[in-house]
């Protein structure tokens, strides 16, 4: 045990924030033995269960971990992953999963597994999230934003191991969305054996900083704000990944990342700016992939602060925003104006939903009739591009200019990092420019995390809105296994949102990915980042003289 503890402490020292600025710090053979994936973002934990969005769940989770279920990026259907089959019992209140055999955990510098995945790992992973009395629940904080917003701790009656390869979840009531939530990257499965070793060493907090999973790649190096190096998992259950390593580069901003793609220092550019599309399309050395995305950009009103607690004020302010100009100046044809918090690709999208009109004169009249004068609002906005918004600061400036035309002063507060999960929860903001993307095709993964009463106490309901009628309609949708009943319930939910307007939907954008011409096997999923296991580099044929 002492040697295990010493190796952990030594590794923790090596995973430091050493300066890193250019690709010269990467091994000279990175482009022969792997590839460089350039993305914006910060990493505060390697555990996707502990975040609501960001690089950990958008990119890293698919490399480090597996889930019980997955969603096919082409058919949008649930497919097996660690669970090779499952049964739905008791009218949707019990779910039984039959696990795959011979699924190996990663061997890392800080942990060598002695067994393959079994039911103990699944029970450990989910009891930590859902059981508030579990000793691991509060390690590194007791927040599990996605599942907290769904009230899963109050939904799960029990999680139990039936045998080494069978796990059963019992719910207090039927939930038609349950399987879909287990298919998100928030539901990653971790090693109970690794947790036991950490517990014996008194270093439980390292479980989220030195990850161990069953995914195609394992962590080997991390330098905060600069890069993450992953090495392939040689015993990955789907077969050995094609590339020996991947470097995820976080060290450059938008234009810097674009320049590095053009020079070949980046092989793949995640979320390129829409304004860069012309360059990407015209360069023969580059390829561009576009797909509809399960995402939404929106403006959230802090409904706990007057005068924004009045729906009439929220509607009047919404009339001032020129959404068509946002489409032209921010998205350059890579998004559509949103009429609902659900993307149009969702099966529950209400086609009768109407886009908020742009009418500044009407906005001024309504604000005046409401007695709103000399209103000053603080708009909080992230500084880096997001999957749902390539230029948040520019979007904020356009909204600021629009509201100025109706006599409302907007002060922009640019906030770096996971601002939604920390500083927004003190409720001092007025407006938040944000969005949401999910790797689930179930509408519940939009409605409850973003707008339920439970989510207003977690870290995902940015408007702090709570409406019991809305929650009741969502529960109706979960209680029914009939698709037609669920569609009707979600139609009612969208009507309530249109009336109350706690958030103003702005855009649903395409997912974009740019890459060098020799990169093959990249999958762009509408639900989030896909595994890099099948990515490879095409070697040019050498012509014989």
Beta partners for residue 290, in sequence order: 512
Predicted confidence at residue 543, as pLDDT, reads 52
The Cα-based distances of 540 to 3, 30, 286, 484, 518 in angstroms read: 47, 17, 15, 53, 8
- Of the two residues 370 and 54, the one the predictor is more confident about is 370
**Mind listing the pLDDT tens digit for each residue in 285-315?**
999 988 888 899 999 999 999 999 999 999 9
Predicted confidence at residue 19, as pLDDT, reads 32
- Residue that has been written with the tokens 């039936």 in this structure: 162
CA distance 350 to 393: 30
The neighbour count for residue 285, using CB atoms within 10 Å, is: 10
**Mind listing the pLDDT tens digit for each residue in 322-335?**
999 999 999 988 89
Domain residue ranges in the chain: 2-246, 295-509
Predicted confidence at residue 151, as pLDDT, reads 85
Share of the chain above pLDDT 70, in %: 90
| Residue 427 pLDDT class (50, 70, 90 cuts) | low
Res 1 pLDDT > 70? no
Contact 228, 221 (CB under 8 A): yes
Q: What is the mean pLDDT of residues 18-23?
A: 32
Q: What is the mean pLDDT of residues 184-207?
A: 97
The neighbour count for residue 255, using CB atoms within 10 Å, is: 11
**Superfamily of domain covering 2-246:** Dipeptide-binding Protein; Domain 1 (3.90.76.10)
Contact 61, 188 (CB under 8 A): yes
The CATH number corresponding to 295-509 among 3.40.640.10, 3.40.50.150, 3.10.105.10, 3.40.1210.10 equals 3.10.105.10
Predicted confidence at residue 278, as pLDDT, reads 85
Entry pTM: 0.85
CA distance 358 to 362: 9
The Cα-based distances of 195 to 29, 142, 199, 211, 533 in angstroms read: 35, 16, 6, 10, 26
| Residue 27 pLDDT class (50, 70, 90 cuts) | very low
CA atoms within 13 A on the CB side of 204: 12
| CB-count exposure of residue 64 (10 Å: 0-12, 13-18, 19+) | buried
* Conformational region of residue 462, where left means phi above 0, alpha means psi within -120 to 50, and beta covers everything else: alpha
- Of the two residues 203 and 252, the one the predictor is more confident about is 203
**Mind listing the pLDDT tens digit for each residue in 73-114?**
888 889 999 999 999 999 999 999 999 999 999 999 999 999
Predicted confidence at residue 403, as pLDDT, reads 98
| Residue 130 pLDDT class (50, 70, 90 cuts) | very high
């Amino acid at each position: 045990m002492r040697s295990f503890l010493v190796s952990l402490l030594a590794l923790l020292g090596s995973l430091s924030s050493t300066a890193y600025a250019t690709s010269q710090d990467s091994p000279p053979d990175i482009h022969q033995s792997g590839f460089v994936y350039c993305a914006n973002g910060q990493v505060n934990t390697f555990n996707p269960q502990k975040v609501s969005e960001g690089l950990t769940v958008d990119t890293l989770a698919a490399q480090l971990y597996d889930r019980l279920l997955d969603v096919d990026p082409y058919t949008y259907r649930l497919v097996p992953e660690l669970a090779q089959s499952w049964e739905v019992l008791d009218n949707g209140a019990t779910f039984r999963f039959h696990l795959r055999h011979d699924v190996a955990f990663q061997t890392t510098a800080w942990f060598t597994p002695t067994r393959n995945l079994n039911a103990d790992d699944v029970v450990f992973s989910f009891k930590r999230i859902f059981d508030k009395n579990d000793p691991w629940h509060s390690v590194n904080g007791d927040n599990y934003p996605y599942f907290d917003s769904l009230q899963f701790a109050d939904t799960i009656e029990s999680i139990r191991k039936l045998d080494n390869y069978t796990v059963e979840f019992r719910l207090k009531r039927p939930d038609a969305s349950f399987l879909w939530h287990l298919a998100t990257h928030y539901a990653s499965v971790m090693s109970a054996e690794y947790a036991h070793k950490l517990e014996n060493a008194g270093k439980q907090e390292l479980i989220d900083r030195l990850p161990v999973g069953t995914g195609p790649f394992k962590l080997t190096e991390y330098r905060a704000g600069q890069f993450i190096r992953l090495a392939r998992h040689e015993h990955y259950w789907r077969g050995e990944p094609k590339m020996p390593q991947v470097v995820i580069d976080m060290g450059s901003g938008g234009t810097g990342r674009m320049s590095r793609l053009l020079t070949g220092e980046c092989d793949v550019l995640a979320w390129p700016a829409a304004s860069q599309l012309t360059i990407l399309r015209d360069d023969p050395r580059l390829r561009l992939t576009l797909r509809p995305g399960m995402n939404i950009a929106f403006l959230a009103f802090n409904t706990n602060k007057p005068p924004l607690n009045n729906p009439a004020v929220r509607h009047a302010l919404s009339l001032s925003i020129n959404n068509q100009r946002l489409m032209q100046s921010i998205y350059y044809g890579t998004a559509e104006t949103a009429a609902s918090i659900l993307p149009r690709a969702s099966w529950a999208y209400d086609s009768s939903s109407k886009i908020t009109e742009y009418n500044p004169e009407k906005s001024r009249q309504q604000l005046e009739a409401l007695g709103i004068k000399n209103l000053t609002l603080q708009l909080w906005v992230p500084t880096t591009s997001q999957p749902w918004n390539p230029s948040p600061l520019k979007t904020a400036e356009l909204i600021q200019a629009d509201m100025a035309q109706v006599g409302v002063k907007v002060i922009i507060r640019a906030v770096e990092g996971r601002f939604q999960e920390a500083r927004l929860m003190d409720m001092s903001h007025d407006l938040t420019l944000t969005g949401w993307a999910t790797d689930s095709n179930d509408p519940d993964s939009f409605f409850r995390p973003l707008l339920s009463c439970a989510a207003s106490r977690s870290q995902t309901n940015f408007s702090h809105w709570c409406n019991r009628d809305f929650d009741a309609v969502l529960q109706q949708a979960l209680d029914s296994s009939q698709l037609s009943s669920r569609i009707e319930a979600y139609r009612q939910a969208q009507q309530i949102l249109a009336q109350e307007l706690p958030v103003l939907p702005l855009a649903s954008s395409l997912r974009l990915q740019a890459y060098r011409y020799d990169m093959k096997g990249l999958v762009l999923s509408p639900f989030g980042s896909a595994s890099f296991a099948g990515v490879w580099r095409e070697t040019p044929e050498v012509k014989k003289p």
